[in-house]
Amino acid sequence: INHIVHNGGLYKRPFNEAFEETPMLVAVLTYVGYGVLTLFGYLRDFMRQWKIEKCQNATEREEQKDFVPLYQDFENFYNRNLYMRIRDSWNRPICSVPGAKVDMMERVSHDYNWTFTYTGRVIKDIINMGSYNYLGFAQKAGTCQKAAAKVLSHYGAGVCSTRQEMGNLDKHEELEKLVARFLGVESAMAYGMGFATNSMNIPALVGKGCLILSDELNHASLVLGARLSGATIRIFKHNNMQSLEKLLKDAIVHGQPRTRRPWKKILILVEGIYSMEGSIVRLPEVIALKKKYKSYLYLDEAHSIGALGPSGRGVVEYFGLSPEDVDVMMGTFTKSFGAAGGYIGGKKELIDYLRTYSHSAVYATSLSPPVVEQIITSMKCIMGEDGTTVGKARVQQLAENTRYFRRRLKEMGFIIYGNEDSPVVPLMLYMPAKIGAFGREMLKRNIGVVVVGFPATPIIESRARFCLSAAHTKEMLDTALKEINEVGDLLQLKYSRHRLVPLLDRPFDETTYEETED
Amino acid sequence: VQEKEELIEEWQPEPLVPPVPKDHPALNYNIVSGPPTHIITVNGKECINFASFNFLGLLDNEKVKSAAQASLKKYGVGTCGPRGFYGTFDVHLELEERLAKFMRTEEAIIYSYGFATIASAIPAYSKRGDIVFVDEAACFAIQKGLQASRSNIKLFKHNDMADLERLLKEQETEDQKNPRKARVTRRFIVVEGLYMNTGDVCPLPELIKLKYKYKVRIFLEESLSFGVLGEHGRGITEHFGINIDDIDLISANMENSLASIGGFCCGRSFIIDHQRLSGQGYCFSASLPPLLAAAAIEALSIMEDNPDIFQTLRAKCERIHKALQGISGLKVVGESFSPALHLQLEESCGFQENDVKLLKRVVDYCMNSGIALTQARYLEKEEKCLPPPSIRVVITVEQTEQELDKTASLLKEAAQSVLN
């Protein structure tokens, strides 16, 4: 049963999100699998210590052997004994543009993944289901590339200065005006790295005496930014509005923990699309709560900008809301625009403040000019300002691809997490052996997928994650689906019993929140 | 419940951001039209560039640009993914190999943003409970890395080895009280090769002696000294003739001498490989766009093929350092071979804001006469030890001797007219 939410008219369209519960047998087998691996890990460590087995990791210098050890043995247990076995599923080197099809350099290992050698052969035309190329702007030819080439020959590659000193080019001003227009906000500011945008601006906005309410599954950059700010952090359950409301009420009623003084400000940190779950934030409810409790909202649209909404303006447009309701709209240019960097958009006072006090504006180099040109051209294309309908067509193609792909996978019987409209599709694998096996089998069939396990996900919920793109044609998707079907049968991955837990009935824990204090 | 409702009604938060006065010195940026090369157009006026860290003049180099163009035609602009998920290109691997070979270390790792390099490297090794001895004049990126690591920070006076030794001795006595804890507490010294805030070098040979005496690891930040110091540009280790394996980790950004974007860390595989799984800025962020990596490779090749540019740069630095001595009202801060100098007021007015205003007038005078300069910018409330306001003077290999002399005389004039 799919649970469709129409919460008191806040939602203008059905919100279909589902997380099927892990089947009991699968959970038990997964724990057994990890138990076996751990036992073998201890055995191998024992053999290595007693020199029965050759130790292959790099070791400390002879002259520094009496220094305090740099790494604790136990920290690296997981790395040595579990990660090493399936290390070839990650860091796969490619040698072509990361579009819908990609060329990969073949590498083999003769010593069980401790070292790799490149055979020199290139595996061509692998269907790329791992790169964040939502609107297909990762291209090596076309208007974006030509414009970037022109700017590169005029401006050069680097900037060699910070924004506040001599690094503010006219191109940056042009970009920021365009981003503000695209988002529908008063003003915007662009930064050189998406990760750094979060970790350097959250500390500028909040400090000691403020409260940050952060979602359970927020990205590492948001967590780091929150920690560096010095504010108190409280975590609410993923996308769970009752949990958030309880935290807000308690915060205002009880004030700061020891002194009982009122909080200076409350900032809610959420993401548009959560990349490991494929879920979309319940934005209408969050905005209603934020208005009721007078707090501020920081929305990280790293994955949702360009990918959601009828004209690609992100999760705010997807829900039909006004960008003025979100206090700080943050996003990155890496995913849908095929470039690099991040931005923050909002009211003019906010952006003026960030121009003066953001760590990135004072100490970090500004964006590289050809990258800026790529963003400008691709953004104009999405907005339709370049005179073609290519942008609109791509946004629609992505939405169609998403719905088609998810529907077919669910029909085949896999457990798929997340919202029906999210182009990030996590397919559950659970067992540790299947993580490596899935990645390798798909590569044999010329399809590149991304598999993730602990610690990016909870230990028994490892998954394969597909990122759909507007550049994928229906034939490519069909080929991929056929192969996934085969591999699913081979590895017995079709766990779904079509018994979906309705969202409002998920157990909500009445006790307390988790507070993390540095 | 009624009370709670009232409390919720009454509570008023602060505004999200306080208003910024319109004439705040950092609010109105200089707008540069066109490339920030040797001749730069700032706010519509053409000037000679003494403010961009383009030490070796590679920003404008045709070979670098054509290498980047070739890469753009092959790979497009962005990488659309982090290193772990189809974001590793053969250019990245090549750049890492070339950097490791150039610096004569085992391995190198690349980050896509200069600031994030040292700010992610430090927390990967130093955790809660570890001890880090850091120089007072360390740059902001190092401070953020230390803050993220949650370790105990002990500041020692700038370049004062006696002060550092005192702190190390104190730590030793602490260790003897609690040997069990001492056995698992890691210790690090973090220094910069050429300090951005003061323009001088760290006394590396003494640091190495202290390292082996007190069993502390050294992390060296070489953003300004990479491609500047040393016979072949390998940085401060070559400058002092020290074995590079004695330094545990060297971190540098590619945004100064290499005129690209990003940063790298190099050292032994034992140390560098750890960052591939625990460097936050490496694992959770998209990789460096291939065209920037290709530009860096080409710039590195140029550095390897023309080792005499370092001598030329040093000669120019010495020349202007001498020429700037004796300006009434301004003193030169920095070594004679440092390409990034500071000009500070000899006598401060007492208020930092007034100092900043005075220096702004000097800078404006120079800009109107065709020399582009900038004030060194800091976040006043966030820095641990705020350096005094200053004008940054950057020397590049492209500046001619006439231009250097002109700048020196112009600064003399400006100081005369503004400060007297």
Q: What is the mean pLDDT of residues A471-482?
A: 93
* pLDDT tens digits for range A58-96: 788 888 888 888 888 777 888 888 888 888 889 999 999
pLDDT in the model for residue A280? 92
CA distance A187 to A130: 33
* pLDDT tens digits for range A111-123: 888 888 999 899 9
pLDDT in the model for residue A514? 47
The H or E element containing residue A175 is helix A170-183
Q: Are B224 and B256 in contact (CB under 8 A)?
A: yes
**Pairwise pLDDT comparison (A498 vs B96), residue with the higher score:** B96
Strand A328-332 relative to strand A266-271, pairing: unpaired
Identify the sign of the CA torsion B273, B277, B281, B282: positive
CATH, domain range B62-305: 3.40.640.10
pLDDT in the model for residue A7? 53
* pLDDT tens digits for range B120-161: 999 999 999 899 999 999 999 999 999 999 999 999 999 999
CB contact A114 to B (< 8 Å): no
Q: Which residues of A touch B256 (CB under 8 A)?
A: 160
pLDDT in the model for residue A8? 55
pLDDT in the model for residue A499? 55
Per CATH, B23-59+309-335+351-382+396-411 and B62-305 having the same topology is answered no
Q: What is the mean pLDDT of residues A177-195?
A: 93
CB contact A100 to B (< 8 Å): no
Percent of chain A with pLDDT over 70: 94
Q: What is the mean pLDDT of residues A179-205?
A: 93
Question: Could you give all domains of chain A from N- to C-terminal order, each with its CATH number?
Answer: 20-128+389-497 (3.90.1150.10), 143-383 (3.40.640.10)
* Burial grade of A258 (CB within 10 A; 0-12, 13-18, 19 or more): exposed
Among A418-432, B4-18, B207-221, where is mean pLDDT lowest? B4-18
CA distance B293 to B92: 6
Taking CB atoms and an 8 Å limit, are A61 and B382 in contact across chains?
no
pLDDT class for A9, splitting at 50, 70, 90? Answer: low
pLDDT in the model for residue A65? 84
Taking CB atoms and an 8 Å limit, are A158 and B260 in contact across chains?
yes
Output b/e per residue, A469-508; b: 16+ Cβ within 10 A: bbbbeeebbebbbebbbebbeeeebebbeeebeebeeeee
pLDDT class for A509, splitting at 50, 70, 90? Answer: very low
Q: What is the mean pLDDT of residues A343-356?
A: 93
Taking CB atoms and an 8 Å limit, are B86 and A450 in contact across chains?
yes
pLDDT in the model for residue A387? 82
Residue extents of the structural domains in chain B: 23-59+309-335+351-382+396-411, 62-305
Taking CB atoms and an 8 Å limit, are A340 and B144 in contact across chains?
no
Q: What is the mean pLDDT of residues B201-205?
A: 92
Q: Is the pTM of this model over 0.95?
A: no
CB contact A392 to B (< 8 Å): no
User: How many CB atoms lie under 10 A from the CB of residue B414?
Assistant: 25
pLDDT in the model for residue A500? 53
Q: What is the mean pLDDT of residues A232-254?
A: 91
Taking CB atoms and an 8 Å limit, are B187 and A68 in contact across chains?
yes
CA-nearest of B86, B80, B107 to B95 is B107
pLDDT in the model for residue A508? 46
Of the candidate CATH numbers 3.40.1400.10, 3.40.50.2300, 3.90.1150.10, 3.40.50.150, the domain formed by B23-59+309-335+351-382+396-411 belongs to: 3.90.1150.10
* pLDDT tens digits for range A35-65: 999 999 899 888 888 887 777 777 888 888 8
pLDDT in the model for residue A92? 92
Candidates A75, A134, A161: best to mutate against B (most CBs of B within 10 A) is A161
Percent of chain A with pLDDT over 90: 57
CA-nearest of B233, B234, B126, B102 to B189 is B126
CB contact A98 to B (< 8 Å): yes
Q: Which residues of A touch B379 (CB under 8 A)?
A: 357, 359, 362-363
What mean pLDDT value characterizes chain B? 90
pLDDT in the model for residue A444? 92
CB contact A488 to B (< 8 Å): no
Identify the sign of the CA torsion B395, B396, B402, B406: negative
CA distance A449 to A458: 20
What number is the ipTM of this complex?
A: 0.93
Q: Omega of the bond prior to A455 within 30 degrees of 0, cis?
A: yes
Name which of A60, A170, A338 is nearest B78 (Cβ-Cβ): A338
**Pairwise pLDDT comparison (A138 vs A5), residue with the higher score:** A138
CB contact A365 to B (< 8 Å): yes
Name which of A141, A327, A365 is nearest B16 (Cβ-Cβ): A327
Using the predicted structure, report yes or no on whether residue A512 has a pLDDT greater than 60.
no
The token pair at B363 is 């800078």
The token pair at B257 is 């001498």
pLDDT in the model for residue B191? 94
Identify the sign of the CA torsion A397, A400, A406, A412: negative
Strand A296-300 relative to strand A328-332, pairing: parallel
Q: Are A132 and A354 in contact (CB under 8 A)?
A: no
CB contact A173 to B (< 8 Å): yes
Q: What is the mean pLDDT of residues B306-325?
A: 91
Using the predicted structure, report yes or no on whether residue A174 has a pLDDT greater than 90.
yes
Candidates A72, A140, A164, A374: best to mutate against B (most CBs of B within 10 A) is A164
Using the predicted structure, report yes or no on whether residue B266 has a pLDDT greater than 50.
yes
- Give the amino acid at A12: K
Name which of B14, B68, B285 is nearest A152 (Cβ-Cβ): B68
**Angle in degrees, CA B66, B70, B73, rounded to 5:** 135
CB contact A205 to B (< 8 Å): yes
* pLDDT tens digits for range B330-373: 889 988 899 999 999 888 877 888 888 888 899 999 999 999 99
* pLDDT tens digits for range A273-328: 998 888 999 999 999 999 999 999 999 999 999 999 898 899 999 999 999 999 99
Q: What is the mean pLDDT of residues B14-24?
A: 86
* pLDDT tens digits for range A360-393: 999 999 999 999 999 999 999 999 888 888 889 9
> A425 pairs with which residues across the strands?
A466
